[in-house]
């Protein structure tokens, strides 16, 4: 039987918002495989899944969110945490919305909820990163009030941090004051 945490809120369309649990891990990995339509092939699927190890659900569930449909399927999720090294900072590690829910405000709603929680817990800024190739993500973060931090080079006007996550794994770094 799947463990469940209490519903935090009932949302439109018979959706519920709750904290993710370790038992959700296989469903989140399946979403990471399915929701991008196999983008990047097997290597792309694996790369996305490696971004979400079980430890995030073991240690950061209280600062993360899961939106479920009435039938129990995952609709969206946000994995975030409070920085243990920087008491002013909260960090959004991953956000995902099912393809049929994109463009309907789910990601922005989860971000605003995370911002409020982080502010209530004494944080004054939120950080996150994305790939320089993910122009949709860059535009979304800019609309959400994030500013791009200077990198070591520009890619079509976007500041990029070369090898941020290892050789060839460049990232765009964002910060937003709360």
Q: Calculate the CA 71 to chain-centre distance.
A: 23
Let me know whether 58 and 103 are in one domain. Answer: yes
Let me know whether 68 and 144 are in one domain. Answer: no
Higher pLDDT among residues 85 and 37, named by residue: 85
Q: Tokens at residue 94, please?
A: 């991953």
- Cα(103)–Cα(105) distance, integer angstroms: 6
Q: What is the CATH number of the domain that holds 58?
A: 3.40.630.30
Let me know whether 25 and 57 are in one domain. Answer: yes
pLDDT at residue 3 tops 60: no
Let me know whether 174 and 142 are in one domain. Answer: yes
Least confident range from 2-6, 65-69, 149-153: namely: 2-6
Q: Facing residues of 67 across strands?
A: 17, 76
Let me know whether 19 and 103 are in one domain. Answer: yes
Let me know whether 66 and 141 are in one domain. Answer: no
Name the domain count of the chain.
2
Q: Closest Cα partner for 127 from 161, 163, 172, 167?
A: 172
Let me know whether 69 and 151 are in one domain. Answer: no
pLDDT at residue 97 tops 60: yes
Per-residue pLDDT tens over the stretch 21-51: 999 999 999 898 888 776 777 877 778 888 8
pTM: 0.91
* Host domain of residue 153: 128-178
Q: Which of 98, 123, 148 is the last residue of a domain?
A: 123
Let me know whether 138 and 114 are in one domain. Answer: no
Let me know whether 86 and 162 are in one domain. Answer: no
């Amino acid at each position: 039987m799947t463990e469940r945490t209490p519903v935090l809120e009932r949302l439109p369309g018979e959706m519920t918002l709750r904290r993710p649990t370790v038992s959700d891990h296989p469903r989140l990995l399946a979403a990471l495989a399915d929701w991008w339509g196999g983008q990047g092939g097997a290597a792309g699927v694996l790369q996305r899944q490696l971004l979400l190890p079980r430890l995030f659900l073991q240690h950061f569930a209280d600062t993360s969110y899961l939106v479920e449909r009435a039938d129990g399927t995952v609709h969206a999720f946000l994995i975030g945490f409070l920085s243990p090294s920087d008491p002013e900072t909260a960090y959004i590690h991953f956000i995902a919305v099912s393809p049929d829910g994109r463009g309907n405000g789910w990601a922005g709603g989860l971000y605003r909820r995370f911002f409020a929680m982080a502010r209530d817990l004494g944080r004054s800024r939120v950080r996150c990163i994305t790939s320089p190739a993910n122009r949709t993500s860059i535009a979304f973060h800019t609309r959400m009030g994030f500013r791009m931090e200077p990198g070591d080079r520009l890619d079509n006007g976007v500041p990029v941090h070369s090898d941020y996550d290892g050789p060839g794994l460049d990232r765009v770094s964002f910060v937003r004051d709360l």
